[in-house]
């Protein structure tokens, strides 16, 4: 699980070699991979009522119920019942970014998955080639094309399963890697790049591909040149266009008649099933308002592409859309997928809005070849199915594929989690429920647009700060939905004139200052601008633009506390991005602050990082700033500084990560300073190449425990970064954009950009798993306080079209560690203050483990004899039949103390009074110590025969529960709020700890 830097292995991508940890005393006693933490478990809590972007939908032609949905960044889901239920089939492979999926239509068990999304917006990720399954998606094998990064289309031969074509667009952020049209004739074992007549300039790749429905040797392919940089996107080039072959790809001819001259951009192609001579195409080119002058828009051919007619100038954001389809029964019935879902009944000449009630931004469609009115459709909000040509839709709210950028959490009990979604605003919901599962409809939205950061006032859970693109920050009361826009502008910045005297402002800036999206004015805000709440005062908020802003009154007023902290490169602050089609939404706004961290130790010690590579520190609240970027060794200039993380333990310590993928650089970059940024140590050597780093978090209790979120995984280290190990466990391959450690509950929360929120419950064991602990034979960790949660159900049945998030398991947990040298069995003995005992025996396995206790006690001989007197009711936290809560811990001690005091008052026997007072002192001295109290039990019963009456319920005569192996016999005593002793015996060695159980906080009026 760990490996020494001295014994590091070379590897690429996601492979994680065995890790061997070196300590001061030498080699650790054991070698682990993820098995060290095999019993830890991530919970997917949702939400799913607002899904993420869909990149493709494909169904089996002869049975529409067999369908696959390709999520833009959440892998592949498959259904065999038309979406009533879904199974993720691509969770453990190289990339969660999906470009296209395909069935071999003669056998639905043969599935192809092309990784790397084709809708190349600023937030997309990259793939690692093409995968094949021959067992219906149970398993996949990578079949190559790993350096294509983006696969736009896969076409399988109708009768030959080994013949497949792939359109690959290549790297998005640089003219590197492989791009073009590829063909295999042996099922993917080898691939041939087809170049005879096709572009092969290293810049222009294949984005679209279509096959003649009756002649598989006839194909059409669209080529596209595009390049994205952090500050600019360029679509279009001289070598793009539509090409045709009639000999299975041996030779190609560019189709030009009727199509635009000059540069072309993204292209979409559709072939009619009912009349294969009819093709429709969306072609990006220079804009034209006159159909007699071919330009960007919709084209129609009725002779197999030999000539084209320009039928419509509509072409909305072609880089993001350019999707066109033809109804399989009617070639005049054409579907155009852009921001809106549009329908044409006259071959594309006129368009009407369709898909009422659907989320905007459409990317995928599958039309049933056996039913004119049935189709699946996908957009930025998920997928849907209609059986009546769009009259009504079934929405699939049962796939959690939402795309979070960041995470915040409140201090309710259980706490709620908040975050911003791509194109779907800000959402929040419970981390755990009393319902038994975290239902979709527990989640709520409070703001629109593209959601990003969300922060919750820890002293008032009703107050949430959130933002959408371009620095549009709001303060919202989530109960009343009252919202205040608090975006910094001239009117609410108290020192605005100090930075921007009126006479120095150009007229255009005076007119436009403070506008959304960074348009005009002196401020620039990133697509995702950071909101950070001061750890010292929740009314103090920091907000990043090109300057750093600070408010001490929750955003009513702001103060600029820094100069422009970016490079302010004029080439990178221009707003003419898009290439052939201008697209200035703010997604490329550059030279901005994107990460902020105030020291939890020292107020006004603040670190910032920018999207153009700067890292600054101020130690006096912004009066003076130092750019310490040049002190960080080996990192190319201008790389995106993805995170700064001030230490919770040492004032001068900070962690910094850089993400180079926007510069076509896929190295992991992680650094640590202990001297305020004067010197830096690279602590990321153990992270595999390709794991671009998005977030680093220092633990709140252990300075050597760090967590890292990357494009594909979560990693952790227990030795300050000397050695790292992957900790995905059951977490799918997915981009982890943010991490949060809940300060009260000790949970690790991951915001994934593709699979929603995930919670790793209770990292206490990891916090205590120092190297010296793992060198020992065994260790029994301290345990988190457990809660006897009530069961409160609303009733009703929601079927399977509702996603159910996973609640935390009920019952106390015992965390322990075993060295690989430990063999045989491990015995756990749990006792309460009455001497009730439960023995559980498990097989010894190396690693950190969690044993969940069901809260019941077994029956030894003494209990069997007295079970009628001490039997407890089963339900933890519920009231005993006699009306009193079962006895446990301090509550029990208080009850017994009161009864002894009452007995003292009632007795007239002086000797008995002395004995009772001595007993009272002993009980108080014992406190909740179970062993000492058990020794007093006989004496209590002798002096007060009915001392325990009514405390344990009235389920008399039931057999006690068996202890061994955790199996159930009859009912023994049930654990109630209080403290319980835990003894672990391993190889004749004994280790002790305790379990504390509290009642549901709702019983105390806590929300």
- Report whether pLDDT(510) > 50: no
Q: Which CA distances in Å does 197 have to 201, 209, 249, 949?
A: 12, 15, 10, 93
Contact 457, 85 (CB under 8 A): no
| pLDDT, position 889 | 54
| pLDDT, position 932 | 65
| pLDDT, position 962 | 27
Contact 870, 948 (CB under 8 A): yes
Domain ranges of the chain: 51-395, 451-503+520-577+588-776, 813-1004
- Residue in the structure block whose two tokens are 């009115």: 373
* Separation of alpha carbons 487 and 466, rounded Å: 11
* Separation of alpha carbons 21 and 17, rounded Å: 13
Question: Which architecture does CATH list for 451-503+520-577+588-776?
Answer: 7 Propeller (2.130)
| pLDDT, position 29 | 35
- Residue in the structure block whose two tokens are 């920018």: 610
| pLDDT, position 18 | 35
> Does the CA dihedral 140-143-147-153 come out positive or negative?
negative
Over residues 79-96, mean pLDDT: 98
Number of residues written out for the chain? 1007
Contact 416, 397 (CB under 8 A): no
DSSP 8-state code for residue 318: T
- Report whether pLDDT(843) > 60: yes
| pLDDT, position 441 | 83
- The two counts, helices (H) then strands (E), for the chain are 8, 70
Provide the Cα torsion 566, 572, 576, 580; round to 10°.
-140
Answer with the residue of higher pLDDT: 857 or 515. 857
* Separation of alpha carbons 548 and 204, rounded Å: 40
DSSP 8-state code for residue 37: G
* Separation of alpha carbons 3 and 19, rounded Å: 3
| pLDDT, position 883 | 31
* Separation of alpha carbons 635 and 612, rounded Å: 12
Q: At what angle do helices 889-906 and 930-943 cross, to 10 degrees?
A: 30
SS (H, E, C) 42-93: EEEEECCCCCCCEEEEEEECCEEEEEEEEECCCCEEEECCCCCCCEECCCCC
pLDDT band at residue 920 under the 50/70/90 scheme: confident
Which among 694, 690, 716 is positioned nearest to 12, based on CA atoms? Answer: 690
- Report whether pLDDT(966) > 80: no
| pLDDT, position 20 | 34
List Cβ neighbours of 532 (8 Å cut-off, separation of 6 or more). 455, 541, 542, 543, 596, 597, 598
- Report whether pLDDT(893) > 80: no
Q: Which CA distances in Å does 279 have to 250, 274, 275, 287, 328?
A: 22, 11, 9, 22, 12
- Report whether pLDDT(261) > 70: yes
Question: Which architecture does CATH list for 51-395?
Answer: 7 Propeller (2.130)
Query: Which stretches does DSSP call E strand in 584-730?
Result: 593-598, 606-610, 615-618, 626-627, 640-646, 654-659, 668-673, 681-682, 693-698, 706-710, 714-717, 725-726
The count of C-alpha atoms lying within 13 angstroms of the C-alpha of 185, restricted to the half-sphere facing its C-beta, is 5
Q: Helical H runs in 479-543?
A: 496-499, 507-512
- Report whether pLDDT(271) > 60: yes
Q: Which CA distances in Å does 263 have to 175, 204, 226, 307, 340?
A: 18, 12, 11, 18, 26
DSSP 8-state code for residue 442: G
| pLDDT, position 892 | 67
Contact 225, 204 (CB under 8 A): yes
Which among 225, 229, 248 is positioned nearest to 574, based on CA atoms? Answer: 229
Percent with pLDDT over 90 in the chain: 78
* Separation of alpha carbons 475 and 468, rounded Å: 12
What contacts 24+ positions apart, CB below 8 Å, involve 1-5? Answer: 1/31, 1/32, 1/33, 1/34, 1/35, 1/36, 1/37, 1/725, 2/28, 2/31, 2/32, 2/36, 2/723, 2/725, 3/686, 3/723, 4/723, 5/685, 5/686, 5/722, 5/723
pLDDT band at residue 900 under the 50/70/90 scheme: confident
Range from 38-52, 614-628, 693-707 carrying the lowest mean pLDDT: 38-52
* Separation of alpha carbons 479 and 497, rounded Å: 37
For residue 762, give both structure tokens: 């209770």
State the average pLDDT for the chain.
89
- Report whether pLDDT(248) > 90: yes
* Separation of alpha carbons 312 and 499, rounded Å: 50
3-state helix, strand, coil in the chain (%, to 5): 10, 35, 55
- Report whether pLDDT(969) > 60: no
Query: Which stretches does DSSP call E strand in 98-218?
Result: 98-104, 107-115, 130-133, 141-142, 151-156, 164-168, 180-184, 192-194, 204-211
Percent with pLDDT over 70 in the chain: 88
Range from 35-44, 60-69, 137-146 carrying the lowest mean pLDDT: 35-44
- Report whether pLDDT(541) > 80: yes
Which among 84, 89, 85 is positioned nearest to 70, based on CA atoms? Answer: 89
* 130-149 confidence digits (pLDDT tens): 999 999 999 999 999 999 99
pLDDT band at residue 798 under the 50/70/90 scheme: confident
pLDDT band at residue 950 under the 50/70/90 scheme: low
Range from 370-384, 392-406, 454-468, 492-506 carrying the lowest mean pLDDT: 492-506
Q: Helical H runs in 822-975?
A: 861-870, 889-906, 910-926, 930-943
* Separation of alpha carbons 764 and 775, rounded Å: 18
List Cβ neighbours of 801 (8 Å cut-off, separation of 6 or more). 83, 84, 394, 395, 396, 397, 398
* 328-383 confidence digits (pLDDT tens): 999 999 999 999 999 999 999 999 999 999 999 999 999 999 999 999 999 999 99
Contact 275, 328 (CB under 8 A): no
Range from 63-72, 667-676, 916-925 carrying the lowest mean pLDDT: 916-925
For residue 361, give both structure tokens: 């931004």
* 757-769 confidence digits (pLDDT tens): 999 999 999 999 9
């Amino acid at each position: 699980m760990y490996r020494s830097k001295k014994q590091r292995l070379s590897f690429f991508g996601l492979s994680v070699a065995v890790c061997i940890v070196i300590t001061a005393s030498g080699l650790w006693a054991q070698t682990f991979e993820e098995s060290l933490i095999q019993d830890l478990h991530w919970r997917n809590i949702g939400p799913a009522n607002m899904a993420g972007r869909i990149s493709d939908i494909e169904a089996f032609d002869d049975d529409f119920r067999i369908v696959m949905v390709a999520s833009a960044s959440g892998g592949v889901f498959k259904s065999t019942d038309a979406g009533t239920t879904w199974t993720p089939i691509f969770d453990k492979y190289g990339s969660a970014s999906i470009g296209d999926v395909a069935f071999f239509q003669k056998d639905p068990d043969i599935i192809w998955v092309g990784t790397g999304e084709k809708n190349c917006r600023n937030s997309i990720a990259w793939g690692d080639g093409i995968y094949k399954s021959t067992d219906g998606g149970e398993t996949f094998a990578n079949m190559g094309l790993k350096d294509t990064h983006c696969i736009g289309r896969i076409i399988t031969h109708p009768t030959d399963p080994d013949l497949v074509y792939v359109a690959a667009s290549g790297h998005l952020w640089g003219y590197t890697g492989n791009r073009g049209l590829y063909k295999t004739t042996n099922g993917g074992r080898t691939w041939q790049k087809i170049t005879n007549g096709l572009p092969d300039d290293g810049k222009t790749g294949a984005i679209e591909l279509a096959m003649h429905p009756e002649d598989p040797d006839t194909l059409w392919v669209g080529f596209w040149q595009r390049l994205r940089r952090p500050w600019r996107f360029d679509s279009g080039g001289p070598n793009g266009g539509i090409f045709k072959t009639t000999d299975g790809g041996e030779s190609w001819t560019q189709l030009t008649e009727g199509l635009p001259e000059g540069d072309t951009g993204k292209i979409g192609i559709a072939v009619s099933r009912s009349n294969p001579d009819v093709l429709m195409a969306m072609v990006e080119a220079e804009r034209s308002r006159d159909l007699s002058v071919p330009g960007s828009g919709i084209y129609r051919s009725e002779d197999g592409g030999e000539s084209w007619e320009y039928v419509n100038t509509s072409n909305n954001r072609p880089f993001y859309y350019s999707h066109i389809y033809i109804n399989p029964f009617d070639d005049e019935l054409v579907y155009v997928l852009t921001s809106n879902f549009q329908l044409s009944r006259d071959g594309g000449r006129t368009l009407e809005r369709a898909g009422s009630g659907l989320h905007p931004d459409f990317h995928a469609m599958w039309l049933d070849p056996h039913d004119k009115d049935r189709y699946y459709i996908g957009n930025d909000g998920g997928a849907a199915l209609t059986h009546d040509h769009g009259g009504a839709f079934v929405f699939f709210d049962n796939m959690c594929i939402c795309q979070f950028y960041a995470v915040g959490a409140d201090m309710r009990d259980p706490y709620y989690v908040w975050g911003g979604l791509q194109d779907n605003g800000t959402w929040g919901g419970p981390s755990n429920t009393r319902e038994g599962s975290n239902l979709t409809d527990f989640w709520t939205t409070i703001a629109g647009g593209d959601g990003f950061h969300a922060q919750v006032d820890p002293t008032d859970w009703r107050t949430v700060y959130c933002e959408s693109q371009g620095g549009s920050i709001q303060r919202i009361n989530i109960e009343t939905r009252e919202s205040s826009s608090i975006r910094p502008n001239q009117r609410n910045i108290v020192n605005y004139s100090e930075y921007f005297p009126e006479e120095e402002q150009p007229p255009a800036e005076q007119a436009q200052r403070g506008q959304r999206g960074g348009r005009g004015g002196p401020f620039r805000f990133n697509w995702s601008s950071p909101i950070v709440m001061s750890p010292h005062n929740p009314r103090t908020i920091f907000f990043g633009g090109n300057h750093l802003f600070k408010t001490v009154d929750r955003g009513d007023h702001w103060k600029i506390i820094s100069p422009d902290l970016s490079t302010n490169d004029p080439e990178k602050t221009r707003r003419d991005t898009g290439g052939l089609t201008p697209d200035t939404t703010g997604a490329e706004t550059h030279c901005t602050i994107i990460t902020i961290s105030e020291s939890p130790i020292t107020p006004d010690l603040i670190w910032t990082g920018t999207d153009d590579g700067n890292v600054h520190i101020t130690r006096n609240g912004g009066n003076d700033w130092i750019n310490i970027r040049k002190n960080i060794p080996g990192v190319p200039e201008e790389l995106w500084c993805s995170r700064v993380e001030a230490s919770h333990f040492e004032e001068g310590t900070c962690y910094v990560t850089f993400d180079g993928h926007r510069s076509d650089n896929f190295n992991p970059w992680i650094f640590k300073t202990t001297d305020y940024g004067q010197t830096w140590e690279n602590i990321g050597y153990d992270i595999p190449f390709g794991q671009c780093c998005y977030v680093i978090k220092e633990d709140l209790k252990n300075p050597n425990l760090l967590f890292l979120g990357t494009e594909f995984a979560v990693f952790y280290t227990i030795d300050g970064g000397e050695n790292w190990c992957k900790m995905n466990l059951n977490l799918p391959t997915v981009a982890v954009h943010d991490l949060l450690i809940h300060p009260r509950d000790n949970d690790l929360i991951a915001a994934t950009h593709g699979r929603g929120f995930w919670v790793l419950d209770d990292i206490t064991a990891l916090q205590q798993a120092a190297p010296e602990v793992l060198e020992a034979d065994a260790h029994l960790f301290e345990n988190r306080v457990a809660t006897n949660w009530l069961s409160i159900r609303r009733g009703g049945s929601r079927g399977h079209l509702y996603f159910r998030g996973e609640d935390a398991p009920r019952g106390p947990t015992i965390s322990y560690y075993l060295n690989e040298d430990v063999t045989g069995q491990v015995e756990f003995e749990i006792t309460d203050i009455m001497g009730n005992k439960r023995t559980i025996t498990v097989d010894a396995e190396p690693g950190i483990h969690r044993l969940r206790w069901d809260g019941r006690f077994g029956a030894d001989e003494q209990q069997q004899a007295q079970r009628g007197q001490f039997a407890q009711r089963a339900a933890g936290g519920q009231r005993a039949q006699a009306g009193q809560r079962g006895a446990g811990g301090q509550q029990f001690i208080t009850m017994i103390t009161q009864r002894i005091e009452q007995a003292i008052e009632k007795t007239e026997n002086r000797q008995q009074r002395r004995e009772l007072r001595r007993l009272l002192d002993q009980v108080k001295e014992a406190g909740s110590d179970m062993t000492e109290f058990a020794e007093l039990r006989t004496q209590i019963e002798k002096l007060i025969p009915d001392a325990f009456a009514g405390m344990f319920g009235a389920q008399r005569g039931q057999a006690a529960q068996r202890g061994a192996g955790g199996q159930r016999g009859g009912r023994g005593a049930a654990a109630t709020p209080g403290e319980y002793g835990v003894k672990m015996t391993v190889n004749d060695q004994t280790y002790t700890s305790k379990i504390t159980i509290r009642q549901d906080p709702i019983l105390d009026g806590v929300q």
